[in-house]
């Protein structure tokens, strides 16, 4: 077993309790890139058996993975629902095989947790998730510094503006470096959407926690030099 795998296994075992609570420790990642750069924001992929064409479209999914690889972005931001059923290791094996081209091309992926990623037995689901993203060290929310941009990746299954995550978010926004021009907040559930729970065929209304997050950001924006950009998913076309 390699040292990397040993460390990944250690973090998974040591962080089991903290994972279920919501956070292991504050995590600040840095991507060493220079301006100009571009990244891909993607989400709601719901990787699963290609024979299951109800959960997602495997042909389009595979085409998009290849197109992203061909574009060679600095990194990929995935806003959740990576797997269709988070506690099904077979769904994650489909992720492994279909996105191998990203790994081969050393394209970094920074994920946010979605409701499908937490599907079923949450402990098993999170173990599957963190095995794919060992750099997160069992952190469910974290920051990424990329040149003049700061990504704040949130877990929208937890309160975004209160509790430990809310305190962390406020701290990050209070101490923005002077050379940050853009703050991208990445989360699964959207603060705004035209969809509603009453939409024919199914839909999703914006939830109260995310609406509260939007109000907080709108109050902060006039006194913040950096521009806020919110990237969310959950609502399918």
Give 30's strand partners.
145
Query: What pLDDT is attached to residue 14?
Result: 40
The structural domains of the chain, with segments of one domain joined by +, span 38-138, 140-237
Other beta carbons less than 10 A from residue 97's beta carbon = 10
What sign does the CA torsion over 46, 52, 55, 57 have?
positive
Contact between residue 83 and residue 114 where contact means Cβ atoms under 8 Å apart: no
List b or e across 82-92, with b for residues whose CB sees 16 or more CB atoms inside 10 angstroms.
bbbbbbbeebb
Largest CA distance in the chain: 52
CATH architecture of 38-138: 4-Layer Sandwich (3.60)
Q: What is the rounded distance in angstroms from the CA atom of residue 133 to the CA atom of residue 122?
A: 16
Q: What is the rounded distance in angstroms from the CA atom of residue 91 to the CA atom of residue 180?
A: 37
Mean model confidence pLDDT for the chain: 89
More confident residue, 13 or 34: 34
Fold of domain 140-237: Transcription Regulator spoIIAA (3.30.750)
* pLDDT, tens digit (0-9, with 9 covering 90-100), for 17-47: 444 445 556 789 888 898 999 999 999 999 9
* pLDDT, tens digit (0-9, with 9 covering 90-100), for 122-149: 999 999 999 999 999 999 999 999 999 9
* pLDDT, tens digit (0-9, with 9 covering 90-100), for 147-181: 999 999 999 999 999 999 999 999 999 999 999 99
* pLDDT, tens digit (0-9, with 9 covering 90-100), for 180-235: 999 999 999 999 888 777 777 667 877 899 899 999 999 999 999 999 999 999 98
């Amino acid at each position: 077993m390699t040292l990397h795998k040993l460390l990944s296994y250690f973090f998974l075992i040591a962080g089991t309790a903290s994972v279920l609570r919501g956070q292991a420790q504050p995590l600040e990642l840095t991507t060493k890139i220079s301006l100009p750069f571009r990244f891909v924001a993607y989400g709601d992929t719901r990787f699963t058996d290609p024979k299951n064409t109800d959960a997602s479209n495997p042909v389009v999914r595979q085409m998009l993975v290849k197109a992203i690889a061909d574009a060679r972005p600095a990194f990929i931001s995935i806003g959740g629902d990576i797997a269709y059923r988070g506690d099904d290791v077979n769904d994650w094996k489909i992720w492994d095989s279909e996105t191998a081209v990203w790994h081969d091309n050393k394209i970094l992926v920074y994920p946010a947790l979605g409701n499908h990623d937490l599907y079923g037995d949450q402990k098993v689901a999170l173990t599957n998730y963190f095995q794919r993203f060992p750099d997160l060290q069992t952190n469910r929310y974290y920051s990424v510094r990329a040149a003049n941009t700061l990504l704040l990746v949130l877990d929208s299954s937890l309160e975004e503006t209160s509790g430990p995550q809310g305190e962390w978010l406020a701290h990050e926004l209070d101490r923005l470096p002077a050379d940050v021009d853009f703050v991208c907040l990445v989360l699964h559930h959207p603060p705004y959407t035209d969809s509603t729970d009453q939409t024919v065929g199914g839909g999703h209304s914006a939830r109260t926690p995310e609406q509260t997050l939007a109000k907080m950001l709108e109050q902060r924006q006039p006194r913040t030099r950096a521009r806020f950009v919110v990237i969310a998913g959950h609502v399918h076309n």
